[in-house]
Amino acid sequence: MPLSENEQRLLDEMERNLYKNEADVMSTSGLVRAPNYTAIGIGVVVGLVGIVTMIIGVYADVTLVGILGFAVLFSGVLVAATVPAKPSVADVASRATAQGRAPSQASLMDRLNERWDRRQGGGNL
């Protein structure tokens, strides 16, 4: 059963709003950055040292060494799990200049949103 003209218009409007909202969420999320492998490596090593220290403390029945081992283990996990800092505008500009292109002022999702809006409005690409 085909949709009525009003239902089709409402469905198209809901779809446009969904794409726009999804693009806004994706452009504002900070999860796009690459992981910091150095911090992960250091965190894993510190965590392993903490586990060994904690096991030694439990085996030797020395509570203070066990607590210290747990603290070292916890700090290692924190170091490994930290999200890398968002690059500053100067870092992005210097990296783009080093690669031989100008830094873009708008993100990819912003440009795609503008292009989508122009397409929906009947403008040229």
Distances (CA, A) of 84 to 9, 31, 89: 43, 9, 15
Q: Which pLDDT does position 18 carry in this prediction?
A: 80
Q: Which pLDDT does position 33 carry in this prediction?
A: 66
| Model pTM above 0.75 | no
pLDDT tens string for the chain (125 positions)?
777 888 888 888 888 888 777 666 665 555 556 778 899 999 999 999 999 999 999 999 999 999 999 999 999 999 998 877 666 555 555 555 555 555 555 677 777 788 878 887 765 55
- What residues make up the domain containing 50? 5-121
Distances (CA, A) of 64 to 51, 55, 68: 14, 12, 6
C-alpha to C-alpha distance for 63 and 54, rounded to whole angstroms: 9
Question: What DSSP state is assigned to residue 30?
Answer: S
What's the domain count of the chain? 1
